[in-house]
C-alpha cells in the first residue's frame, strides 16, 4: 500500500450515472424481477382486453372505431411506466433512506444529493424504457400494432416515467412510516381505474371529466394512446407540457427536501 499525497489518478466528481451503475450491479443478481414488471400489464391486457373486449367489441369515437384490446393496451403501458417509476422512487427509495441507509455512505464521496436524486430517477427511466419496449414488442407480436408511429410510445413512456419517478421522489420525502404507503395506494389505484384506462372520457358526466383531466396519468395515457393508434391532436402538446412541468417541479422540490434530510 502506498498512499501518496499526489494521487496519479485525479478523481472526478461523482455523477448521476454512477447511481445507475450501482443499480445495474444489483440487477445482475436479481434481474428476474423485471420480468414480473413486463408480465403484469400483459396479464391485465389478457384479462380486460380479451375478456371485456369480447363483450364491448369496439370503442367508438377514436379514429373510427378501435377494437377494445387496442384501446386498453397503450393505457396499460402508460400505467406500467407509471407504476415502475413510482415503485422505484417510493418503495425502493424509502428502504434505502431508512432501513438500508444506502445514501449515507454515498454522500461521504464527492456525490451530491442532486446527483443521487438524478441518478435514481435515471435508473427508474431506464427500467421503464426496458419494460415499455418489451411490452410493445409483445403486443405487436399479438398483432395489435398497425402503425410505425407506435414506436413513439417508448419516448411517451419515458416522459411518464420521468413525471412519476420525480413525483415519487417528492412523495417519499414526506413519508413517516411504511403505513403511509397505503395512502399512496389510495391515490394510485383510483387514478389507474379512472384515467381513461378502461373507458373513454366521454362515458363520464362533465364534472368528473374535469377531475380526470387533471390527473397526470390521464395525460400520459393520451400520449401513449395517440402514438399507439397513430392519431394526433392539439391536446398532445398540452399533455407533454403538463407531464414535463410536473416532473421538473417535483424533482426540484424533492432535491431541495432531500438535501435537508440527508445533510443534517
Partner 1 sequence: MTAGPVPILAEGLTKTYGGFTAVDGIDLEVRRGEAFGVLGANGAGKSSTMRMIACVSPVTAGSLRILGRDSATDGAAIRARLGVVPQDDTIDGELTVRENLLIYGRYFGLSWKVLRERSARLLEFARLEDKAGDAVGTLSGGMRRRLTIARALINEPEIVLLDEPTTGLDPQARHLLWERLHRLKQDGVTLLLTTHYMDEAEQLCDRLVVMDAGRIVASGTPAELIARHTSREVLELKFAADERQVMIDKCRGLAERMEELPYRLLLYTDDGEETLAAVNARGVRPRTALIRRSTLEDVFLTLTGRSLVD
Residues engaged in binding partner 1 (CB under 8 A):
1-5, 7, 9, 11-15, 18, 21-22, 25-26, 100-102, 104-112, 263-264
Q: Which of 1, 36 has the CB closer to partner 1?
A: 1
Kindly tell me the sign of the dihedral angle through the C-alpha atoms of 215, 80, 59, 155: positive
* Phi then psi dihedrals of residue 60, to 5 deg: -80, 160
Cell reading at 21: 451503475
Q: Which of 119, 216 has the CB closer to partner 1?
A: 119
Counts for the chain of helices (H) and strands (E), in that order = 12, 2
* Interior angle at CA 127, CA 121 and CA 131, nearest 5: 140
Report the distance separating Cα 50 and Cα 47, nearest Å.
Answer: 6
* Phi then psi dihedrals of residue 246, to 5 deg: -60, -45
Q: Which of 103, 242 has the CB closer to partner 1?
A: 103
Q: How far is the CB of 152 from partner 1 (least distance, A)?
A: 34
Q: How far is the CB of 164 from partner 1 (least distance, A)?
A: 23
Report how far apart the first and last C-alpha atoms of the chain are (Å, whole number).
34
Report the distance separating Cα 43 and Cα 68, nearest Å.
Answer: 15
Q: How far is the CB of 195 from partner 1 (least distance, A)?
A: 34
Which of 60, 57, 125 is closest to 89 using CA atoms? 125
Q: How far is the CB of 102 from partner 1 (least distance, A)?
A: 6
Q: Which of 206, 263 has the CB closer to partner 1?
A: 263
Q: How far is the CB of 13 from partner 1 (least distance, A)?
A: 5
Q: Which of 102, 252 has the CB closer to partner 1?
A: 102
Amino acid at each position: 500500500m502506498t498512499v501518496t499525497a499526489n494521487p496519479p489518478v485525479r478523481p472526478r466528481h461523482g455523477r448521476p450515472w454512477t447511481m445507475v451503475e450501482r443499480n445495474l450491479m444489483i440487477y445482475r443478481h436479481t434481474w428476474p424481477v423485471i420480468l414480473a414488471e413486463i408480465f403484469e400489464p400483459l396479464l391485465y391486457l389478457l384479462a380486460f382486453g380479451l375478456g371485456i373486449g369480447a363483450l364491448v367489441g369496439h370503442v367508438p369515437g377514436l379514429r373510427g372505431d378501435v377494437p377494445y384490446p387496442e384501446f386498453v393496451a397503450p393505457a396499460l403501458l402508460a400505467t406500467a411506466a407509471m407504476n415502475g417509476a413510482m415503485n422505484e422512487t417510493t418503495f425502493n427509495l424509502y428502504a434505502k433512506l431508512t432501513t438500508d441507509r444506502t445514501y449515507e455512505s454515498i454522500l461521504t464521496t464527492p456525490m451530491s444529493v442532486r446527483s443521487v436524486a438524478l441518478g435514481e430517477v435515471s435508473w427508474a427511466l431506464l427500467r421503464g424504457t426496458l419494460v415499455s419496449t418489451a411490452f410493445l414488442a409483445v403486443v405487436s407480436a399479438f398483432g395489435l400494432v398497425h402503425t410505425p408511429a407506435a414506436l413513439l410510445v417508448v419516448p411517451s413512456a419515458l416522459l411518464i416515467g420521468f413525471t412519476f419517478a420525480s413525483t415519487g421522489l417528492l412523495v417519499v420525502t414526506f413519508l413517516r412510516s411504511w403505513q403511509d404507503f397505503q395512502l399512496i395506494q389510495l391515490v394510485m389505484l383510483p387514478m389507474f381505474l379512472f384515467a381513461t384506462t378502461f373507458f373513454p372520457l366521454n362515458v363520464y358526466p362533465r364534472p368528473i371529466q374535469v377531475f380526470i383531466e387533471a390527473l397526470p396519468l390521464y395525460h400520459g395515457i393520451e400520449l401513449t394512446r395517440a402514438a399507439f393508434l397513430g392519431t394526433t391532436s392539439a391536446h398532445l402538446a398540452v399533455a407533454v407540457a403538463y407531464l414535463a412541468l410536473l416532473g421538473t417541479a417535483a424533482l426540484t422540490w424533492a432535491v431541495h427536501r432531500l438535501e435537508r434530510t440527508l445533510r443534517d
